[in-house]
Structure formats: C-alpha cells, structure tokens
Amino acid sequence: LILYFLGGRDALTSGIVNTFYREIVESWPLATGDWRHDLEVMAHHIYRAHVRYPGIANYMLSHNRHRLIQDLTAGEIDYSLLFFEKSVAAIKAIGFDAARTATFAHLIMDFIVANAHATVRHPWPGEHADFLGTRLSGLDPNKFPATHYVRENLVRLNASEAFAAGLNLIMEALEFEFHEGMK
C-alpha cells in the first residue's frame, strides 16, 4: 500500500520528516537580535521537538537522505529547507564567514539531535542513580580517586542539565572563535 499510495518508503519518510520540520518552522521562536540568546532559544526549541518525536532523532542520527531536502510533489513546501535557512541564519548572525557558518551549523545540529536521542534512550546517570550510587560508593577511594571525586555529582546528572551544559560550552566556544577570528 505504501508503494501504491505514496510511491515507496522514501516518499513516506520524506513526508514524515517534512511534517516534523513544518511543526518546528511554524512555531519558530522570534529573534531578538542577540545572537547568543537567539541561538540558545533555537537550540532548545529544536531539542524539544526531537525529544517529542524520538523516531525522527533516531532517523537523523542514522540517515542523511532527508535531513536537508525532501522528495515532494509539485506545489508542496519543503519545510526542511525553511528549517535549514532559519537555523543557518541564527549561526550566520554571529558574523562568521561562510565556511565556519556551515561547519558550526552542522556541528550544532548534530549536538542537538544526539542529545535528544540520548534523552529518550535514558542513558543519563541520574536515571540510574540508585544502582550507580550503590556500586560507585563501594569503590575504594584510593584506587579510584577520580571516580570518587565525581561520584555524587555524576549520579545526579540528567538530560536537561547535560544539554544545557553542553550548549553553554558550544556558546562559549563560538564566542571565543568569533573574537579570535577578529584579531
């Protein structure tokens, strides 16, 4: 039936991905002109969308075909291109050249999708705090001093805090890269 009504699996996948991007584009946060604030809000917006639809995050991690351009019929709007335009514009607003803008846009999107995928897969230490805390607290601090040092904080680590910390590192790196490039 998929082949008959839609033309195949690729057409079905493309349509689902396009619908996903449409939801993101139509609820895109308004820009304030402060690149860092706008980029952080955008990243959280995209992250939450991927968490809501974990199959999309999984697809984006394992395939690249419909990540940027969709197979659509004449007259349909390609929301992935509109999404790409808006997300790249947020990076471009920093003031990087085209090469850095392209690279950083790709890296930031990979960070967002990978973290969303990890969020729904539940690998975060805080989600296994009882088990990890019990096992790690039983280790000899003299043999495992680094583990002992981070143990209590590690078992409290959760997805939203990890995403925020990683995003903050990226923002700091972008600011540093921009200022170093201006010298």
| Per-residue pLDDT tens over the stretch 45-85 | 999 999 999 988 888 888 776 677 667 777 888 899 999 99
What whole-number distance in Å separates Cα of residue 158 and Cα of residue 119?
9
* Residues listed for the chain: 183
The pLDDT value recorded for residue 53 is 92
Answer positive or negative: Cα dihedral of 9, 12, 13, 14: positive
Contact of 91 with 108, CB cutoff 8 Å: yes
| pLDDT band at residue 44 under the 50/70/90 scheme | very high
Question: Per-residue pLDDT for 1 more than 50?
Answer: no
- pTM here? 0.86
Chain centroid, CA 94 distance in Å? 19
| Alpha helix ranges (H) inside 93-144 | 98-121, 129-137
| Per-residue pLDDT tens over the stretch 88-145 | 999 999 999 999 999 999 999 999 999 999 998 877 888 888 999 999 999 999 999 9
Helix, coil or strand: residue 122: coil
What whole-number distance in Å separates Cα of residue 148 and Cα of residue 156?
14
